[in-house]
Amino acid sequence: MNVLILGANGFIGSHLSENILANTNWHVYGLDLAQDKLNNCVGHERFHLTIGDMIKEKKWVREHIEKCDVILPLVAVATPAMYVQEPLRVFELDFEANLEVVRLCAELGKYLIFPSTSEVYGMCPDGEFNEETSNLVTGPINKERWIYSTSKQLMDRVIYAYGKHKGLKYALFRPFNWYGPRLDNVFNPKPGGSRVLSQFIGNILRGENINLVNGGAQKRCMTYIQDGINAIMRIIENKDDKATNRIFNVGNPDENISVRELAEMLVQQISTNYPKYSDKAKAVKLIDIDGKTYFGEGYQDVSLRVPAIRHANQQLGWKPAVGIEEGLKKTLDFYLS
């Protein structure tokens, strides 16, 4: 099997590439702007990486969609600060650039696996989010934070329509707060410049206090990257066509913790287990900060985001296996050891 990964150097792309090379005989064809997260893949006989921009390399993209069996367009802006600061860039990359890939997959009869997001559910009031029945609820237009959610949601709807009316074979997966090694650059000092876990680790390493937006009361289901990759692998394999034209939440509902609890766990783990950084961790204070002050006027948040994972369990035989304590240790070992 030939697998095309657009965004192979990203958080998900790099872990997926590693897993494919280690556990299958498939070839991986990748495109990205850099290769710093792919040290374990570059040089492998079944790994074929091209450095380039998918927006500019349209001929390359078409040629490789033609030659590959499974297409994963993983390129996206996925940091909340960017949703407010550069909403047009989010739309242009997350929707417009990927729309061309979707159309090519439909035209050429390829199996498309697209990364949706837990954020499509927005402010859905359900206690757990169901892929087929939960309403997708977002805020007013002046809350630009929702351009990421609605761009992804529109792509989901377009892909569904191509499947129903044009015969596109697809699967959508919705990650719920995936984390782990290579998540982001923890040394990026820009507030909001990375996702919450790597932002907090960076705060501690720099000896900074941790800002908790709106007190950190919002809860998230933290999902370790290897659990997520295991789900994607099953979607690619698509045994008995059970993934075909389906949507899958991929998250860990058993690890539903508040952002404040996450910060407290990080401080405690680093204080206890990493002597080099222990003093810095012990000196960190948790500071409550208003969301508008931290992200800007266009920010809005949700208090709860819990996935129903029955579809993934029943159709793929998948369930998460890594708890938050183990996952944080693996992540911190990568960044601090």
Q: How confident is the model at residue 189 (pLDDT cuts 50, 70, 90)?
A: low
Containing 316, the helix (H) or strand (E) segment is helix 310-316
Mean pLDDT of 19-27: 98
The number of angstroms, rounded, from the C-alpha of 104 to the middle of its chain's C-alpha atoms is 23
Mean pLDDT of 277-293: 89
Given a cut of 80, whether residue 230 has pLDDT beyond it is yes
Given a cut of 70, whether residue 194 has pLDDT beyond it is no
Q: Shortest CA distance to 28 belongs to which of 207, 36, 13?
A: 13
Given a cut of 80, whether residue 300 has pLDDT beyond it is no
Mean pLDDT of the chain: 94
Is 228 within 8 Å of 12 (Cβ atoms)? yes
pLDDT digit string (tens) for 198-208?
Answer: 999 999 998 89
Domains of the chain: 76-336 (3.40.50.720)
Cα separations in angstroms, 37 against 12, 66, 157, 239: 10, 26, 32, 30
pLDDT digit string (tens) for 117-170?
Answer: 999 999 999 999 999 999 999 999 999 999 999 999 999 999 999 999 999 999
pLDDT score at 310 = 98
